[in-house]
Amino acid sequence: MNEQLTEQKSIYLQISEMIETDILRGILLEEEQVPSTNELAKLYTINPATAAKGINLLVDEGILYKRRGIGMFVSPGARGKILEKRRAAFARDHIAPLLAEAKSLGITREELLDMIREREL
Amino acid sequence: MSLTCEHITKVYGGREVLKDVSLTLEPGKIYGLIGRNGAGKTTLLSILTAQNPATRGTVAVDGEPVWENRKALERLCFSRELNVGAESGIAAIKVKEYLRIAATYYAGWDKEMEKRLVALFELDGKKKLGKLSKGMLSMVTIIVAMCSKAPYTLLDEPVAGLDVVAREQFYKLLLEEYAATGRTFVISTHIIEEAADVLEEVIILHEGRVLLMEDTQALLERVRYVSGKAEEVDAAVAGLEVHHPETLGRSKGVTVFLKPGQQVEESRDVSVQLVNLQKAFVALCGEEERHEA
């Protein structure tokens, strides 16, 4: 939750991704309460409506759920959902720019695969 | 429920400072008013709060006209930059006296908050206004705005002269007060980037007219900076609203404002980046003339 905001992505997306990352890293646990929109607004010095938009995105995806009068909580199974979603987006978010850069540098497919094989995961 | 002005025109010495400005400020939002020097920001804020008569047009708060209407004025606070020049007459007033006078104007004045903020900003109540630095005068205006508890609070350049730590304190204070009360705030500032994320809506005033009024995040989602080889850039942004072209040799960069359904031509070999509010503002209100590509 303490990453810094960048200009190159909408703030509400960054807020929702930071909460997801905290869930993946075990900083936020399932069935645990997440910070309120006002707490997030004050921490990042952003409008609460923007923070709420980020939170609501996760509610729509079933990653967070609302307990009336208390606040937002991490859903059971949220971690699995985030993993699944990020894996699905991996090719688009990470492989596509990698290929584009390789292409502009004239790196062949075989050379690229060799480079990946040389690295340990 | 709103603070509304319709067809406001203001003429000073034959010059139109505001030209047919109509705005509706909804309760429970933080608005930003940005514009270049002389765009008419202070004049607009002072007319919205009946500190200054409009040449033409009307202003109403929650349905009540504001001009010479005590009931309406109780709902408004205009916190403007303090002028402590020789002719102002307030230079000899002490900080705590000034705050005591300000408190008499507002039925809901929060004395506890006043004490807390004087301590937070480390202001000396016994000091005369004329002896305060620019930043300390801004702190006094911030205290008046916050403690007034007015449902519609308009702050003109509240962070002028404040150092970066005090500016951050102000925005956190504003968000705290907003979270606690849902009051409506309008903030004018030249330090756009620091304020951008706090502002739910932004109003851009340019040469006396409202150039744009939009949800800040929605605006930023539709502005792109496109750069690369000049021909590729021109082809990528053909038919879009293009501002502020800059060229360097064969390279070119432009700022485009997309309309719903539009996008930058993806097949072109160009870089497409998001921009911050300050860059979007400069692209709109900078000197270079606008043209359709």
- Nearest-Cα distance to chain B for A79, in Å, is 28
Please say whether the beta carbons of B111 and B103 come within 8 A: yes
Give pLDDT, residue B226: 96
Read off the DSSP letter of residue A33.
B
Alpha-carbon separation of residue B135 from B68, B122, B170, B211 (angstroms):
32, 12, 12, 30
Angle, helices B164-181 vs B134-148, to 10°: value is 0
pLDDT band at residue A53 using 50, 70 and 90 as cut-offs = very high
Calculate the average pLDDT of chain B. 94
Give pLDDT, residue B287: 66
Suggest the residue from A6, A7, A8, A15 to mutate for an interface test with chain B (most B CBs closer than 10 A): A7
Q: Give burial (CB, 10 Å; 0-12/13-18/19+) of B86.
A: exposed
Domain ranges of chain B: 3-214, 222-292
Question: Distance of alpha carbon B273 from its chain centroid, rounded?
Answer: 26
| Partner residue facing B179 (CB), from A12, A46, A48 | A48
Give pLDDT, residue A8: 84
Cβ-Cβ contacts under 8 Å, A7 against chain B: 274-276
Residue of B nearest to A36 (CA): B179
Domain ranges of chain A: 11-76, 79-118
Cβ-Cβ contacts under 8 Å, A43 against chain B: none
Please say whether the beta carbons of B144 and B79 come within 8 A: yes
| Partner residue facing B274 (CB), from A8, A41, A48 | A8
User: Which chain A residues have any C-beta within 8 angstroms of a chain B C-beta?
Assistant: 5, 7-12, 38, 41-42, 44-50, 53
Suggest the residue from B26, B167, B175 to mutate for an interface test with chain A (most A CBs closer than 10 A): B175
| Partner residue facing A49 (CB), from B168, B176, B200 | B200
Q: Which residue has the higher pLDDT, A114 or A121?
A: A114
Class of domain A11-76: mainly alpha
Alpha-carbon distance of B28 to B184, in angstroms, equals 5
pLDDT value at A40 more than 90:
yes
Suggest the residue from A5, A45, A57, A104 to mutate for an interface test with chain B (most B CBs closer than 10 A): A45
Q: Convert the pLDDT of each residue in A67-107 to its tens digit.
A: 999 999 999 999 999 999 999 999 889 999 999 899 989 99
Give the number of A-B residue pairs with CB atoms closer than 8 Å.
46
| Partner residue facing B198 (CB), from A5, A46, A53 | A46
Task: Dig out the tokens for B245 from the structure.
Answer: 């072209």
| Partner residue facing A47 (CB), from B30, B168, B220 | B30
Give pLDDT, residue A3: 78
Kind of pairing, strands B201-206 and B30-34? parallel
Task: Dig out the tokens for A57 from the structure.
Answer: 């995105």
Alpha-carbon distance of B171 to B163, in angstroms, equals 13
Q: What is the residue type of A62? A: G
State ipTM.
Answer: 0.85
Q: Give burial (CB, 10 Å; 0-12/13-18/19+) of B126.
A: exposed
Homologous superfamily assigned to B3-214: P-loop containing nucleotide triphosphate hydrolases (3.40.50.300)
Please say whether the beta carbons of B201 and B33 come within 8 A: no
Which residues, 6 or more positions from B169, have their beta carbon under 8 angstroms from its beta carbon?
B120, B121
Task: Dig out the tokens for B157 from the structure.
Answer: 């350049």
Cβ-Cβ contacts under 8 Å, B221 against chain A: 10
Per-residue pLDDT of chain B (293 residues; tens, 9 = 90+): 899 999 999 999 999 999 999 999 999 999 999 999 999 999 999 999 999 999 999 999 999 999 999 889 999 999 998 888 877 788 999 999 999 999 999 999 999 999 999 999 999 999 999 999 999 999 999 999 999 999 999 999 999 999 999 999 999 999 999 999 999 999 999 999 999 999 999 999 999 999 999 999 999 999 999 999 999 999 999 999 999 999 999 999 999 999 999 999 877 889 999 999 999 999 999 865 444 44
